[in-house]
Amino acid sequence: MELTDKDKELIKELIDRGEPIPARYRLMLFADAAETELIWKGKSPEVTSVVLPFQSIEHIDEPRTETGKTDNLFAIDAHSRRQTSGWTNKLIWGDNKLVLSSLKNGPLRKEIESQGGIKLIYIDPPFDVGADFSVDIEIGEETITKEPSMIEELAYRDTWGQGTDSYLSMIYERLKLMRDLLANDGSIYVHCDWRVNSYLRLGLDETFSKANLRNEIVWQKIRSSKGQSNSFGNVIDTILFYSKSNEAIFNHQFVPLARERLEKHYKYFDEKRSDYYQLCDFTQTGQGVPRKFGEKGEIAPPPGKHWIWAQEKIDEGLKEGLIVFTSGKMPRLKRYLGQSKGNPMEDLWSDISPINSMSDERNDYATQKPEALLERILRSSSNKDDLVADFFCGSGTTLAVAEKLGRKWIGCDLGRFAIHTTRKRLIGVQRELKDQGKAFRSFEILNLGKYERQYFVGIDPGLPEEAKKQLTLQKEEHYLGLILSAYKAERVFQYPEFHGKKSGVMVVVGPIDAPVTLDLANRVVDACRKYKISKVDILGFEFEMSLSPLCQDEAKKKGVALSLKYIPKDVFDRRAVERGQVQFYEVAYLEVKPVAEKQGVRVELKDFGVYYRQDELEQVAGSLKEGGSKVTVESGQVVKIGKDKSGKVTRTVLTRKWTDWIDYWAVDFNYEDKKEIIRLKENGEEKEVWTGNYIFENEWQSFRTRKDRRLELASARHEYEQKGKYRIAVKVIDIFGNDTTKVIEVRV
């Protein structure tokens, strides 16, 4: 290292002042770097190792008809027809950094390893700085755009909006965690586009080694591009395929030969001869001998793209000698030995079309990828019964394909609505497989729940219980200040029963690690009467089931207007709080009725009410151009605001009845049958602990799909084995993906 004393003195001064060192000195100081490395501001070798327990909030196993049967995947209970052994697939709602760290370092790692480890990871992280992460929701014949929650907005748009540095810091740590989770024979496929593919490739080179780059796959995502003023049309995405080692699974895929592609259009020769002859400009005699139209004066089929194309393919096949006729005058496709599989697949994929507006797969997610694309990836780098994962699962394409191909899976997403969309999609796959007589697995919905909240305020969930209680008390003032600031309320100390005040309304903040109970609500109402307070808001992350509207009605009788509001996870993002953009929303009202029938029961939905607000109506109206319109939410109603050519503003309520707000509902007919048990690590040892909650076992459900907007309002009849008293839980998920659960008792 050839540095003069003057050079050394200058470098020291720069370091003391906290200024960057000129490039020429960096090269001299670090000339012995082992290999090329991607450097950016904020890059850190540190990777989180936090372990948070997973809470199981729901278990979904579409009831089966094959009672008492054991297939090659798992055992089925003879009475309940539910999966009783083997791997349960996992759909996880939460920040994937915390999820990945908890999977890697926590008790669930053993379960993953017992399944052979994760063989394949596919991720399609948002990579468009200006991307729109909103989702269109249908209400009757109208469509409303669901804006992302603030936590999605900040985690996605703002992360990329702050530049490449923030994006790379986010993805780099997650790639390291994913690598450590992969089995030694596993692979990862990272989907991206021109904005970040070069950065991601260098980051993956560093994480997985350049030697383990298998392919840079180019997928033609668009068939016809929009005109570009100063560049060529952008029609491709990149999929970076890396293995963890030389032992990675790889199953060759093949492109059908020309003759085999033609065969798709000749398949009806054997199945529906006359129909296909007509389609392809053939007809047949009474003896089944084919001939061209027109030979006997027949009228040719009507012109059209499909007809003309089919005729061209037939002519092509005849010219190339690919179509031959048997002695019985039947057309057959000529084959050659050794060519039945086709040509080996290459790294240019132009044969898989994107999802169009009429596709059965479409879930109205802008970033949704076609199932055929994922099918190719899963078939290439995993085998049946292998475990695969997608940690940016979106609308659940990877998981749906994995289920259809007999793979086990783990999926994760930050967005509540993404989890809900995936839940519905996977139930649809279960039903499809059930109808086909094929095996399918149950899946559970997990989150990090109260442990994630404790982590956000600096409480280690792995501490002994007594130490955790002490730390919670120490952190209480910080926690209260955080929530009140997000709620735009001021802290008050004159009344010990209350924590804050907002516009003349007193505010109580519920605990960080427990639901707001009926007992707490009653104590707050009593305090209101004591101090002659007429209005109070109780804020909570969770609320005891059946708390609303029972306690609100009782409070009203005592002269107290009680409002119960959910605290969103957005409060833990400083940027959201500073911008004043955190939205608290009121607990929904749900009314259900059990109808007992001898030793069985069915459940009827009777009423549902919400209170949401998305935009200020006056601002919406003011921003509209003449002839324009926008659908928004105000005071619990979905409203269409329009402005005619004369400037007159109209307001039309679209949610005409309470059922318009419901997207999905499900029933657990014996709610307290299955306790929620979590596995904790304390002092290096694992132990199982009951959380005090129960797992919602999804035994019956009805939901809307894009093609079928109908919703059943009465469940199927459930038969109990024994007479007695049972608690039934009913879960309703509204059109924005928020859930409300109510527990009722029934005696049969």
Same domain, 221 and 290: no
Domain end point (choices 565, 586, 607): 586
- Does any domain span residue 339? no
CB 362 within 8 A of CB 421: no
pLDDT given at position 147: 57
Same domain, 564 and 661: no
**Percent of the chain beyond pLDDT 90?**
42
* 581: confidence class by pLDDT, cuts 50, 70, 90: confident
Cα(365)–Cα(397) distance, integer angstroms: 11
Cα(235)–Cα(221) distance, integer angstroms: 6
- Does any domain span residue 80? no
Query: Residue 371: enclosing H or E segment and its boundaries?
Result: helix 371-381
For residue 679, the cross-strand partners are 688
Cα(186)–Cα(118) distance, integer angstroms: 7
CB 170 within 8 A of CB 44: no
pLDDT given at position 180: 96
Host domain of residue 474? 453-586
From the list 346, 723, 742, the residue with the least C-alpha distance to 543 is 742
pLDDT given at position 269: 39
- Does any domain span residue 685? yes
Number of domains in the chain: 5
Same domain, 601 and 578: no
pLDDT over 70 at 145, yes or no: no
Question: For 313-324, what is each residue's pLDDT tens digit?
Answer: 555 555 555 566
Same domain, 315 and 385: no
pLDDT given at position 706: 80
305-314, 359-368, 447-456 — which one is most confidently predicted on average? 447-456
* 268: confidence class by pLDDT, cuts 50, 70, 90: very low
**Percent of the chain beyond pLDDT 70?**
74
Same domain, 305 and 156: no
Cα(340)–Cα(343) distance, integer angstroms: 9
Domain end point (choices 280, 299, 333): 333
CB atoms within 10 A of CB 266: 20
Cα(520)–Cα(525) distance, integer angstroms: 9
Query: Residue 14: enclosing H or E segment and its boundaries?
Result: helix 5-16
pLDDT over 60 at 276, yes or no: no
| 588: DSSP letter | P
Cα(561)–Cα(130) distance, integer angstroms: 43
CB 355 within 8 A of CB 361: yes
Cα(240)–Cα(173) distance, integer angstroms: 17
What value does the mean pLDDT take over residues 550-569? Answer: 89
From the list 419, 388, 392, 444, the residue with the least C-alpha distance to 89 is 444
pLDDT given at position 16: 83
SS3 703: strand
pLDDT given at position 624: 72
Cα(9)–Cα(217) distance, integer angstroms: 50
Cα(579)–Cα(583) distance, integer angstroms: 11
* 150: confidence class by pLDDT, cuts 50, 70, 90: very low
pLDDT given at position 473: 84
- Does any domain span residue 204? yes
pLDDT over 80 at 307, yes or no: no
CB 631 within 8 A of CB 611: no
Cα(412)–Cα(313) distance, integer angstroms: 44
Cα(418)–Cα(368) distance, integer angstroms: 11
Look at phi and psi of residue 598 and say left if phi exceeds 0, alpha if psi is from -120 to 50, else beta.
left
* 717: confidence class by pLDDT, cuts 50, 70, 90: very high
What value does the mean pLDDT take over residues 597-609? Answer: 91
Same domain, 421 and 495: no
Cα(151)–Cα(551) distance, integer angstroms: 31
Cα(412)–Cα(446) distance, integer angstroms: 9
- Does any domain span residue 443? no
Cα(706)–Cα(663) distance, integer angstroms: 11
Comparison of pLDDT for 417 and 540, the residue scoring more = 540
Cα(560)–Cα(533) distance, integer angstroms: 7
Comparison of pLDDT for 506 and 13, the residue scoring more = 506
pLDDT given at position 274: 43
Question: For 161-192, what is each residue's pLDDT tens digit?
Answer: 567 788 888 899 999 999 999 999 999 999 99
pLDDT over 70 at 635, yes or no: no
Give one DSSP letter per residue of 250-315, joined into a string: ----EEPPHHHHHHHHHTHHHHSHHHHHHHTTEEE-TT--EEETTTTSPPPPPP-HHHHHHHHHHH
Same domain, 461 and 524: yes
pLDDT over 50 at 90, yes or no: yes
Cα R_g (the chain), whole angstroms: 30
- Does any domain span residue 155? yes
Structure tokens at 707: 């093609």
Question: For 66-81, what is each residue's pLDDT tens digit?
Answer: 333 434 345 544 444 5
- Does any domain span residue 474? yes
pLDDT over 90 at 487, yes or no: yes
Comparison of pLDDT for 646 and 55, the residue scoring more = 55
What value does the mean pLDDT take over residues 404-412? Answer: 97
What value does the mean pLDDT take over residues 492-511? Answer: 94
- Does any domain span residue 103? no
Q: What is the CATH number of the domain that holds 485?
A: 3.40.1340
For residue 146, the cross-strand partners are 135
pLDDT over 70 at 258, yes or no: no
- Which residues have C-beta within 8 Å of that of residue 540, sequence separation ≥ 6? 509, 510, 511, 515, 516, 564, 565, 566, 567
Question: For 18-44, what is each residue's pLDDT tens digit?
Answer: 887 876 777 677 655 556 778 888 788
Q: Full-prediction pTM beyond 0.85?
A: no
* Type of residue found at 89: N
Same domain, 497 and 533: yes
CA 298 to chain centre: 55
47-51, 497-501, 517-521, 689-693: which range is least confident on average?
Answer: 689-693
Same domain, 242 and 266: no
Look at phi and psi of residue 573 and say left if phi exceeds 0, alpha if psi is from -120 to 50, else beta.
beta
Same domain, 460 and 571: yes
Domain end point (choices 586, 603, 625): 586
Same domain, 307 and 160: no
From the list 502, 553, 631, 681, the residue with the least C-alpha distance to 107 is 681
Q: Mean pLDDT score of the chain, rounded to an integer?
A: 80
CB 263 within 8 A of CB 333: yes
55-384-63 Cα angle (round to 5): 55
Structure tokens at 41: 């501001």
Same domain, 615 and 669: yes
Give how far Cα 470 sits from Cα of 466, 509, 653, Å.
6, 19, 51
What value does the mean pLDDT take over residues 240-251? Answer: 96
pLDDT given at position 707: 80
